[in-house]
Structure 1
């Protein structure tokens, strides 16, 4: 039996915190040039239709530190359902590859646990893997994460806001530079400025805090690849390697295939053609 070609494959992209389906556009164009189909989703509360804090676009951004997020009621089940809907629409392809970035690893993993028959492979792009620790925050508290940048980007009290809030439209040069250094340090400055303005400020608190339980007979049976980002300053490579190692110990019958890309947490912005080639590899 021959291996599936790129024309048999559809990639289903799940973005990370504060992003949306548009972040994958350049990667999807590169994949199309290589003969592969793809689709990308907006998780609830993300993308260009995301609800914003009332003062976010106003001068001085009143209330940004204290106004409760409109996304406070968004649940992990809501986000998982969005992934499942996309997978069902893509199932007519011979091979479906689910690609998750960063915090998107949580709903993507739960979708694969609930419907492993819809997924032929999962690719974690510097993404949360819940096999050993069920919450994304569990890894952000690990000693391996101590070298991460960006701790000063979060605004207010996430518990009170119901969201992890950042300010992509900040007028503070130091804040903007920390955002760039954390997520986009290898993206040209003029492109970074456009990227950050497309981000949304709120990540529903349920995404990093809701436990995601996966099992060997369901999630564990799906072939999986981890694409490491070698100079990731948001989720350092030590944390990426910790998640890979712990998942392989928890599910030894089906270990990760591991690939490595140079550069930052956001290869879809800095090197989309390399990312597309790695996905097709």
Structure 2
């Protein structure tokens, strides 16, 4: 078995699908957010294993090692970075929900399934739970989009409650023309790199941030934040749900996290959120994976 680098240990282990012999029958299905992939969960998965919990991390279409890069992304001068239409422009919300559903069906044999979504991954995870609530015993939103109150992630990203969030200047090119929200994780501009760090990873150890940014994909298919996700009380609304707030989140402000929780509970009051608060940034899987694993298991 190969494994991926841990931010909190010296070994190098890269597997994103792991389990251990324990008396637990719970498996965590981990869904990443924008520009990330399954590998960003690796340190959290190792911590989950240490707590006796099985887990599997999903690569949404357009992310992970299967993600298509802009043709000039790795070339000198970055030709076409601002104008070349994304090869991921055709990825749909249905495609992403289907990827989650395939994994949920695979792991159902383990027993209790907890679906965990980070950030923009809340849309595909919510749609998967709406379509097959019988496959999910609990859904956990880690500073993630909850469509129960407003159907599009952009509805919350652009809300007044999110006005203090950083990162708008990270987007390059025209999203409508590109078919994607494009960032430049390999930018040679120190000011851009610092804004990326401050937005998503401000509490990740400084010496590790360059490695984390180099693993990001540049394109988020536009459908993920812009497609409406319709939820119903009889399906998604019957799944017990938890929200893990990130208190110092600079990408999705705590005020808008609270807005999503409140609007979801008003829309579907029969199974209200259990809410826990974590310290730190939008990316606890980088800054404090053991604490995140403890919150998930707890």
Using the size of structure 2 for normalisation, the TM-score is: 0.92
The secondary structure found in structure 2 opposite 1:130 is coil
2: CA distance, partners of 1:140 / 1:111? 22
Shift of residue 49, structure 1, vs aligned partner? 2.2
Shift of residue 189, structure 1, vs aligned partner? 1.4
1: CA distance, partners of 2:42 / 2:210? 17
1: CA distance, partners of 2:293 / 2:173? 37
The secondary structure found in structure 2 opposite 1:232 is coil
Per the alignment, residue 183 of structure 1 pairs with: 200
Output one character per residue of 1:98-149: Cα deviation in whole Å (capped at 9) or x when no partner: 0000000000000000000000000000000000100000001110010000
- Residue among 177, 180, 183 paired with 1:163: 180
- Would the alpha carbon gap of residues 70 and 6 (structure 1) be closer, same or farther in structure 2, given more than 3 Å must change? farther
Question: Are residue 103 (structure 1) and residue 128 (structure 2) matched?
Answer: no
**Contact preservation (8 Å) 1:163, 1:205:** yes
2: CA distance, partners of 1:6 / 1:239? 38
- Would the alpha carbon gap of residues 34 and 250 (structure 1) be closer, same or farther in structure 2, given more than 3 Å must change? same
Output one character per residue of 1:231-270: Cα deviation in whole Å (capped at 9) or x when no partner: 0000000000000000000011110000010000000000
Matches within 5 A, 1:108-119: 108-119=125-136
The secondary structure found in structure 1 opposite 2:64 is coil
2: CA distance, partners of 1:167 / 1:38? 30
**Number of matched pairs:** 277
The secondary structure found in structure 2 opposite 1:92 is helix
**Contact preservation (8 Å) 1:6, 1:280:** no
Per the alignment, residue 71 of structure 2 pairs with: 54
Per the alignment, residue 285 of structure 2 pairs with: 268
Per the alignment, residue 38 of structure 1 pairs with: 55
**Contact preservation (8 Å) 1:6, 1:36:** no
Please identify runs of 4+ aligned residues in structure 1 that moved more than 3 A: none
- Residue among 110, 113, 121 paired with 2:138: 121
Per the alignment, residue 78 of structure 1 pairs with: 95
2: CA distance, partners of 1:267 / 1:16? 12
2: CA distance, partners of 1:31 / 1:171? 36
Using the size of structure 1 for normalisation, the TM-score is: 0.98
RMSD between aligned residues: 0.8
Per the alignment, residue 224 of structure 2 pairs with: 207
1: CA distance, partners of 2:291 / 2:205? 16
Matches within 5 A, 1:209-228: 209-228=226-245
Question: Are residue 244 (structure 1) and residue 261 (structure 2) matched?
Answer: yes
Question: Are residue 11 (structure 1) and residue 28 (structure 2) matched?
Answer: yes
